[in-house]
Amino acid sequence: MSLSTKVDEIPLYIKVNVQDNVAIIVNSGGLKKGTLFACGLTLKDFVPQGHKVALVDLEENQEIIRYGEVIGYAISPIKKGSWIKETLVRMPTPPKMDELPLASHSSEELTPLKGYTFEGYRNANGTAGIKNILGITTSVQCVTGVLDYSVKRIKEEILPKYPNVHDVVALNHTYGCGVAINAPEAKIPIRTIQNIATHPNFGGEAMVVGLGCEKLSPAQLGVQKDTVSLQDQAGFMPMVKIIMEMAEERLEKLNQRQRVTCPVADLVIGLQCGGSDAFSGVTANPAIGYAADLLVRAGATVMFSEVTEVRDGVHLLTPRAANEEVGRAIIQEMKWYDDYLEKGEVDRSANTTPGNKKGGLANIVEKSLGSIVKSGSTKITGVVGPGEKANEKGLLFAATPASDFVCGTLQLAAGMHLQVFATGRGTPYALAAAPVIKVSSRTALLEQWSDLIDVNAGTIATGEATIEDVGWELFHFIIDVASGRKQTWTEKWGICNDLSLFNPAPVT
């Protein structure tokens, strides 16, 4: 009998805050009409796992409260014990930006965590990496086929000679030409490529493959001598030959690198969630938030992101800004994205996916309140614009779209060594340049995907573990992965997603 089956013998629900008038069903498979809870609540409908049940009679237009916050209003009367379907919830308006409190939260300073280290690779510029990878950047999408062919041969014929190098990664993207290179917002994809090319996991051995006539020149990437221009070659095989030769020169240097003891303060950790469900905000994300606090206490840099998944909870974040300047920077990023969405004739409600709703999330407001929990409780010390490098310690807001692939790419550009990724519905998403630790919100997902989930937070929902228990487990797992002592499942399988640049500028 599986763990989730044992739990399902007892009807359970989770009420997050004392003010909440709804709760979510814990039991896998949901609970049938007539189910009686120990508190006396009786279900008037079948309610699927993760979906909301009314704890009181709700009148038309009455506030629906979860996490102690209004997530919507009842479109029609809802009886106690009824399934609160998405169609019964009217979404509230978002917080007004000009009325947000700034740096008003006087939280108690957390005790520093001292003595925690990892085994990393020290770079010449003082940064540290957790991987020893040759990253080959492209200046334009046209060269992708040639580079992919070359990398395949490098891995087969050359890489085995250099056992201290973990991988050779083609940093392909869809930018470089056919774009308005001088448009104001073109700075975002350009600096993203620039910063990924010098990622700390690449050991300072830059290499760029270009075509020769593209708009994005190697000079704009800060690289001149470390470039292959395919239009200068006499045919396909000469192109491959020169790429392989340049790669081997760099592999020889990278192979000399050895792991050394580094303080956890050298780490830059990205936080993200995808395939979210109603459990994400009560299990996986709170555990990640607890681990985030531990990392910040140890001196590390921690980034949380996803603008549309912050927008409806921003009133809970600006008070945590370290100062008013940081608070205003958060608001500026929110406003920029509001304008960006308006130009596309959508609003933040476009974020919520069919899978999110199937997993019990009624709207983006509910999703946002569960998402921001992974930021933990520390002060927000800075804001990183899309494509920018993270240059401060502590908890940072990295302004990115919520798309898993775009967010991951921008966090890489910010210098992220490793990403912690919460999921309720499940996704095999991964990155080639940095490990991605998968944290499941439900035990049933772990049982379904036992060879893709790294840490299970589902035990929090059933009371078998606390948020603190899973937070500490995750903290130690992060250090082990950073040190090369443990692998994530996606590293083991060698699977990854392509880079996906955020380009709000015109394509010509």
CATH number, residue 249: 3.40.50
* CB 142, CB 178: distance < 8 Å: no
- Looking at the domain assignment, is residue 99 inside a domain? no
- Looking at the domain assignment, is residue 266 inside a domain? no
* 193 and 320, same domain (yes or no): no
Gap between the Cα atoms of 451 and 490, Å rounded: 9
Examine the fold and report which residue of 65, 92, 119 is the final residue of a domain before the chain moves on.
92
DSSP output for 23-47:
EEE-STT-B-TT-B-TTS-B-SS-B
* 180 and 298, same domain (yes or no): no
Residue type, 3: L
Examine the fold and report which residue of 60, 92, 124 is the final residue of a domain before the chain moves on.
92
Gap between the Cα atoms of 9 and 12, Å rounded: 9
Q: What is the pLDDT of residue 1?
A: 37
* 82 and 177, same domain (yes or no): no
Residue 175 backbone phi and psi in degrees, to 5: -100, 180
* 488 and 450, same domain (yes or no): yes
Name the CA dihedral angle for 150, 208, 262, 119, rounded to a multiple of 10 degrees.
0
> Does residue 459 come out as left (phi exceeding 0), alpha (psi in the -120 to 50 range) or beta?
alpha
Q: What is the pLDDT of residue 85?
A: 95
* 471 and 420, same domain (yes or no): yes
* 46 and 163, same domain (yes or no): no
Q: What is the pLDDT of residue 6?
A: 56
Sites in the chain below the pLDDT cut of 50: 1, 3
- Looking at the domain assignment, is residue 128 inside a domain? no
Other CB atoms within 10 A of residue 230 CB:
20
Q: What is the pLDDT of residue 220?
A: 84
Question: What Cα–Cα distance (Å) separates residue 163 from each residue in 128, 171, 319, 374, 391?
Answer: 20, 21, 49, 37, 32
* 5 and 62, same domain (yes or no): yes
Examine the fold and report which residue of 92, 107, 124 is the final residue of a domain before the chain moves on.
92
DSSP output for 124-185:
TTS-EESS-EEEEEESSGGGHHHHHHHHHHIIIIIGGG-TT--EEEEE--S-SSSB-TTSGG
3-class secondary structure per residue, 406-462: HHHHHHHHCCCCEEEEEECCCCCCCCCCCCEEEEECCHHHHHHCCCCCCEECHHHHC
* CB 492, CB 425: distance < 8 Å: no
Domain encompassing residue 75: 1-92
Pick from 438, 328, 329: which is nearest to 388 by CA? Answer: 329
- Looking at the domain assignment, is residue 287 inside a domain? yes
- Looking at the domain assignment, is residue 260 inside a domain? no
CATH number, residue 20: 2.30.130.110
Gap between the Cα atoms of 143 and 11, Å rounded: 57
Total number of domains in the chain: 3
* 420 and 294, same domain (yes or no): yes
Q: What order do you get walking across the sheet with 69-74 strand by strand?
A: 63-66, 69-74, 89-90
* 213 and 71, same domain (yes or no): no
- Looking at the domain assignment, is residue 120 inside a domain? no
- Looking at the domain assignment, is residue 103 inside a domain? no
Bridge partners (DSSP) listed for residue 263: 117
* Structure tokens given for 272: 């993200």
Overall pTM surpassing 0.85 (yes/no) = yes
* 240 and 293, same domain (yes or no): no
Pairing of strands 22-25, 52-54: antiparallel
Query: For residue 276, how many C-alpha atoms fall within 13 Å in the half-sphere facing its CB?
Result: 32
Burial class (CB in 10 A: 0-12, 13-18, 19+), 319: middle
- Looking at the domain assignment, is residue 434 inside a domain? yes
Pick from 444, 439, 425, 360: which is nearest to 6 by CA? Answer: 444
* 458 and 326, same domain (yes or no): yes
Gap between the Cα atoms of 250 and 244, Å rounded: 10
3-state secondary structure of 237: helix
* 313 and 445, same domain (yes or no): yes
CA 23 to chain centroid, in Å, comes to 26
Q: What is the pLDDT of residue 8?
A: 63
Q: What is the pLDDT of residue 226?
A: 83
Q: What is the pLDDT of residue 414?
A: 98
Residue type, 16: V
